[in-house]
Chain A
C-alpha cells in the first residue's frame, strides 16, 4: 500500500527535519546530475583458464607463475562468494529477529559448510601462500585421511591407523 505519510505532529516535524537535508540532495541529483551524465559501458574481465599447479613440471617456472596468478584470482572469487553467503545469512538473522534460530538454519548450514571448505583449501597457508603450498596441503590432508579416517574423526595411534 502507498506510504500514508506522517501520522501525527511529531512525525511530521521529524520528517520535515529529515527532508531539510534530503530534499535538496535529491533535487540536485535528479535535476543536475542525472541528465548531464554520459552513458558508456565497463566490463568484468574474463580470464582464460591456464594449467593448474598439478599439471606443471617442477622446473617449469613460467607455468608455475601462471598457476600462482590463477590461484590468487580464484582465491579472490572464493572470498567474494563466502562474503555473499555470509551476507545472506546475516540479512536473514536481522530480518527474522526473534525466530532466527529456526528460520535461518539452511543459510547457516550453507555458510558454515562453505567456510569449512574455504579453510580446508586456503586456510593457514600464510601471506605468501602460493598454489604449490595449497597443493601440498591437500596432499597432506589426503594422507592424513588415509591413515586416520575423515577429518574431524580424531587422530588414531600408530597401531590403530588404518593404512598400516
Chain B
C-alpha cells in the first residue's frame, strides 16, 4: 500500500537510484538461485553412456525380439495348437509337412524347407550321373591302355592340329592391320 502512494514520486527516485552511491548498494546483494537458469557452468560428472546404451539395447531386443516372438508362439500354441497323431487314411498320401506336429514346424516344412523326398531324389539323380561318368571314364581308360599295348589303332590316339584357332588368330590379325596399318 505504501508503494502505490509513492508511485507518483517515482521520477524523483529514478535519479536517486542512478547515483554512484546507490550503485554500490546493489553490488553486494546475496544472489539467491531460486527459479532462474542458474550460473552457466559445464557439469563435470562421470559418463552414464554405458547405462543409457544398455537401456537402449535392452529396449530394442525386448520390443523387436522378445515381444513379437512371444506373441507369435503364444498364438500358435493357444489358438492353433499341435496336431493329433492319426492313422494314415486308405489311399491318401500325406503332404510332407503333415508329418510334423507343431504348427510352426509345419509352416517351416511347408514354406521354407524343400521336401525331404525331393532332396532324396535329387541326391539319387546326382549319384546316378556321377556313376555314368565313372563308367565312361573307366571304359575310355581301358581303351587307351589297350591301344597303348597293341599299338594298332592310331586314329583315336592321335589328334591332328585343328585349324579353328588359326582361323580366329588370322581374323584378328586382319582386323588389327585394317585399323593400324602395316607396322
Contact = CB atoms under 8 A, between A and B. Distances in A.
Given A61-B131, A65-B124, A69-B120, A42 B78 contact: no
A43 interface: yes
Contacts of A58: none
Contacts of A61: 127, 130-131
Interface stretch (A17-25, A32-40, A119-127, A156-164): A32-40
Given A41-B98, A42-B99, A65-B124, A33 B85 contact: no
A43 B81 contact: no
B80 A38 contact: yes
Interface string A51-84: 0000000011110011001000000000000000
Contact size range, A: 20 to 34
A42 B101 contact: yes
Contact of A41 (B84, B124, B128, B130): B84
A46 interface: yes
A43 B131 contact: no
Contacts, number: 59
A62 B81 contact: no
A42 B85 contact: yes
Given A32-B78, A38-B81, A62 B124 contact: yes
Given A37-B78, A38-B81, A41-B86, A62 B128 contact: yes
Contact of B78 (A36, A43, A69): A36
A40 B83 CA distance: 5
Contact size range, B: 20 to 34
A46 B92 CA distance: 12
Nearest to B85: A42
A32 B94 CA distance: 31
A45 interface: yes
Interface in B123-137: 123-124, 127-128, 130-131
A41 B131 contact: no
What 7 A-B pairs are tightest by C-beta distance, nearest first? A37-B81, A42-B83, A41-B86, A43-B94, A43-B88, A42-B101, A45-B99
11 contacts: A36-B78, A39-B81, A40-B84, A41-B84, A41-B85, A41-B98, A42-B98, A42-B106, A43-B87, A43-B94, A43-B98
A49 interface: no
Given A41-B83, A43-B86, A45-B99, 20 more contacts: A33-B77, A36-B79, A37-B81, A38-B80, A39-B81, A39-B84, A40-B83, A41-B84, A41-B98, A42-B98, A42-B99, A43-B85, A43-B88, A43-B98, A43-B99, A45-B94, A59-B131, A61-B131, A62-B128, A66-B124
A41 B83 CA distance: 5
Contacts of B79: 36-38
B114 to A, nearest CB: 16
Interface in A89-136: none
A145 to B, nearest CB: 35
Nearest to A45: B99
Contacts of B131: 59-62
B100 interface: yes
B78 A65 contact: no
Given A61-B127, A61-B131, A44 B78 contact: no
